[in-house]
Structure 1
C-alpha cells in the first residue's frame, strides 16, 4: 500500500533519495561542537616519489607531440556500485603514467599540460604541467564530517596541495580553478584543447563547453593514441615495477598450490583458488590486475572463465590465469596449468608439452628487429604441426597455416601475445602499424601465451583429449640481445612443475 504522503515523496528528486536513510545530526549546536576541539595535524612526511623523474621525461616526450596545445588528462572519478556506495577507485592509466600516482590516488584530479613558449616549460619542454586536485578540507567545513564520498570522517584525510606537489614534482592547484585555467587564451587562433576521452564525463563536458564557445576543438582520439603509444617501450622505472609485479604474482601461485587440498575439499574449489590469489594481491599489492581465471577440468576450455564456481577434482588439470597489480598499478599476467594431484597423466603431458613447445618457439622469435606478429606466427607453426601429427587437421599443417584456411585455430582462437604494463592489455589504443605490425624494441614488455582447448563435446578430437584445456603464459621483456622471461622463476617444464608442486605441498 502506498504511504499517505506519496505525492510529496514523489517530488523529491531520485538523486537525493539516498539521504532518506540518513540520520546525521544537523543542529547548530552539533555543527559548533563537531567543528571544534581538534588538535593540530601531524607534520607531513611526504617525500618526492620514485617515479617523479621518469614521469617528467614522459610528459616532456608527449609535449613534443602537441606543441602549442593544451592537453587535459583526467584521473577519472568514482563509479557507483550500488546506490550510494562506490567501487574502489583506480586512476586512468594515462594519468598514472604521467604523474606516478597509483593505488587509489587521486579521484577527480586532472593533469593539464599548459603550452608555453618553446623551451620555457618543465624540463625545457613546451608545456608546464599542473595537477588540479581536490585537497584536504578543513575540520571547520561541513565536508569534514558529512560527505561520505570525500569527507575525512568517512574516508580519511586526503593529501594537501603541497603534499601532492612534493610527491609528484608537479605544480598543484585547486580543482575549482580548473575551468578558468582551461579557458585561458583558447580560441580559433589561440590555444587548442585536447582531452583524453571517455575518462571523466564532467571534465569532458567542461572542455566541450569551452570549445563550443571559442571554436577550439581538436581530435581527442589522437591524444589518447599518443599516450597509449608512449607506453609501448617501458623505461627503467617501469621495468622495475614489472619485475615487482611478476615476483609478487609468483608468490601468489605458490599460495595457490598450497591451497589445492582445500580447493579439492570444497564444493566451489575454484573459488578457493581465486580467493587465495585475490587475498594475496590485496595484502601485497593494490589488487588483481584483472579478474582471476581459476578454471578446473572442462572449464579450462572456456578462455575467460571467471565464474570460478566449479569443483576442483584430482586427476584433472586446473588452469590459473592471474596477475597482481602492485600499488603503482603495473600488473603481471601469468598462466599456469597445473595437475590438481601434482602429476600429469600421459595425455595431459602430451598436450602440455605441445603448448610449451609453441611458447618456446614464440620466445625464440621475440627479438629486436622482429615484428610483433612474428611471435604469434612462430607459436602457430608449432601448434599446427602438432595437431597434424595427432591427425586432427583435415589438411596438412602447411595448408592449415595459409590465411585462407586456419583450421588449427579451432583449438586456439586467441592471439599469442599482448603488450603489458599499467593495463593488462596495455597500449590498446596504439595504431596497428606500431602494435601488430610494430618492430620489437628493447624495453617492450608483452605476454607469450599459446594454448590448446579441447571441449568435452568436440567430436573432431579423440575422447582422451576432450575436456582438456592448457595455456602457459609468461611475461617477456625485449632486451638489446634477445629477451628475458620475467616470470621464469615459475616452473614451466612439466617435470619441473611436478617437482615444484611436491616441494610446496610437503614444505
Structure 2
C-alpha cells in the first residue's frame, strides 16, 4: 500500500526546489522553516499542520525542521535539517524520520540534524549578498536567522556578506499558482470525500437537530473517508445566520421552512476542497427561496462559463455583480438600471464579497493576484479557484420585501482552468433545485 506521504513523487519536490533556485538571485541563500507547534492551552497543543510552502518544497510533515537553498555564481546546494532520533521523546510524541532515513528518502545534497543549523548557516552565509526569509513572520527562528546575518556581517575574511533581505514567499507562492496533475488529483480526492458529506446532509431528516450536529456529521464523514481534517471550520448557518458570512457558532436549532447554508470542505494530504451548498431543512424550497436560489445559481453558471485562459478575476466579479443585480431589481430590492446600480455599488449590500479565491494547499491559497508590476494576473492553464456568488437578505432589512427577508444563499464550486476553458472539479456535487430536493426524497 502506498504511504500517504508519498503520493507525490520525491522527484516532484526536487523539481520544485530547482525551479525555486532558478528564481533566486545569485550569491544568495533562502531559509524556510517548518510550522511551529501551536499551544491550545497550558501544555496541550493543536493538531500539527505543516507550513504550506515548506511542505510544497519538501513533502516533509515533521516539525522542528528547516530547508536551506543556496545559490552561488555557478552552483547550488539544497540542505534539509531534521530532528535527531530520540527514543525517549518518540515514546511520547511519535516516531521521527531522523537524519539517516531522511538521507535515503529526500533528494537533497545534504541532510543534517536541526541542532547544527546555526553552525552550518554561519558558513553558508559567508560571501552571500542576500538572504531570503519570511519577512512578515515574527517566529523566533526567523528573527534568530536575522541575528546570525548580523553576526556574519562582521566577518573580516569574507569578500562580502549579506546586506539585503528578500521575501522568500514571493517565489514559492507564485510557483503554487499553477497546479501539477498530481496536485489536481489530490484536490479531486478531497472533493470526492466532500461530495459524500454534502450529499449525506442533503438526505438527512433534520427534525430538531442543532447546527453543530450537522457539523459533526461532516467532520465524521471527512475522517471516515481518509481526510484527517477539515480544510477550515465548517459553517452550518440556518435561517438568518446565513447572512453572517463567517458564522461558525453553529448552535441554533434547524427549523422546518428555513434554509441551511453549509460551507464545508475537507483537506486530503494537505490539499483543500471548498464547497458551499444551500439546502432547505424540510427538503423543499419555498417559492421565495427558490427564486433567490436560482438567481444565485444563474450568476454562478454565467461566471463559470466565462472562465478560460486570459480572463481576469475582476471580469468574473463584474459578471457576477451584473447577474445578481438583475435579480435584485427583479425582486424589487433595488430600483434603477443595472448598469448604474453596479457602478454605484448598490449591489454590494447584498453581495459584499469576492467571486472567489485561489485554492490548493491552503483553502485560500497564498498565491499572488497581481504580478511584480502591480498588474492583475490573468487566468492560465493549471490554476484552481473557487466560484462562489451569494445573496444575503437580512431579516431586519426593511428595504427587502418581507417574503425574501432572512434568506441567505451561496453556491460554491472549485474550478480548474484548462487549456481551452475550464473544468468544474466539483460538478458531481448536487446543486440544482431538482437535484437537492430529489436527494432528500431518496
Give, in whole Å, the separation in 2 of the partners of 1:276 and 1:437: 40
Give, in whole Å, the separation in 1 of the partners of 2:377 and 2:5: 39
2:250 matches 1:308: yes
2:185 matches 1:240: yes
Which among 391, 395, 399 is matched to residue 456 of structure 1? Answer: 395
2:168 matches 1:230: no
Give, in whole Å, the separation in 1 of the partners of 2:90 and 2:84: 11
Give, in whole Å, the separation in 2 of the partners of 1:447 and 1:254: 19
2:82 matches 1:133: yes
2:129–2:163 Cα contact (<8 Å) kept: no
Matching of residues 61-140 of structure 1 within 5 Å? 61-66=19-24, 67-101=26-60, 105-116=61-72, 118=74, 120=75, 127-137=76-86, 139=87
2:70–2:124 Cα contact (<8 Å) kept: no
Give, in whole Å, the separation in 2 of the partners of 1:46 and 1:391: 53
3-state SS, counterpart of residue 477 of structure 1: strand
Higher relative contact order (CA 8 A, sep 6+): 2
Which among 178, 193, 197 is matched to residue 252 of structure 1? Answer: 197
Give, in whole Å, the separation in 2 of the partners of 1:48 and 1:384: 47
3-state SS, counterpart of residue 271 of structure 2: coil
How many residues are aligned here? 429
Show CA shifts across 1:40-97 (max 9, x none): xxxxx99966332222221111111113311111112111111111111111110011
Residue in 1 that maps onto 2:281: 340
| 1:129 Cα deviation after fit | 1.8
3-state SS, counterpart of residue 264 of structure 1: coil
2:115 matches 1:176: yes
3-state SS, counterpart of residue 401 of structure 1: helix
Matching of residues 90-489 of structure 1 within 5 Å? 90-101=49-60, 105-116=61-72, 118=74, 120=75, 127-137=76-86, 139=87, 144=88, 151-170=89-108, 171-187=110-126, 189-198=127-136, 201-215=139-153, 216-221=162-167, 223-258=168-203, 260-261=204-205, 263-266=206-209, 269-283=210-224, 284-326=226-268, 328-402=269-343, 405-428=344-367, 431=370, 437-489=376-428
1:48–1:166 Cα contact (<8 Å) kept: no
1:320–1:337 Cα contact (<8 Å) kept: yes
Give, in whole Å, the separation in 2 of the partners of 1:79 and 1:117: 39
User: CA 1:386/1:47 → structure 2, altered by over 3 Å: closer, same or farther?
Assistant: closer
| 1:463 Cα deviation after fit | 0.5
2:54–2:67 Cα contact (<8 Å) kept: yes
| 1:277 Cα deviation after fit | 0.9
Give, in whole Å, the separation in 1 of the partners of 2:228 and 2:103: 22
Give, in whole Å, the separation in 1 of the partners of 2:403 and 2:4: 60
Give, in whole Å, the separation in 1 of the partners of 2:400 and 2:259: 18
3-state SS, counterpart of residue 315 of structure 2: helix
Q: Which runs of 5+ in 2 are unaligned?
A: 154-161
Which among 421, 431, 435 is matched to residue 492 of structure 1? Answer: 431
3-state SS, counterpart of residue 301 of structure 2: helix
| 1:110 Cα deviation after fit | 0.7
3-state SS, counterpart of residue 376 of structure 2: coil
CA-atom RMSD in angstroms? 2.1
| 1:335 Cα deviation after fit | 0.3
User: CA 1:174/1:301 → structure 2, altered by over 3 Å: closer, same or farther?
Assistant: same
3-state SS, counterpart of residue 360 of structure 2: coil
Decide which structure has the larger Cα Rg and report it: 1
Q: Which runs of 5+ in 1 are unaligned?
A: 1-44, 121-126, 145-150
1:132–1:174 Cα contact (<8 Å) kept: yes
Give, in whole Å, the separation in 2 of the partners of 1:84 and 1:279: 26
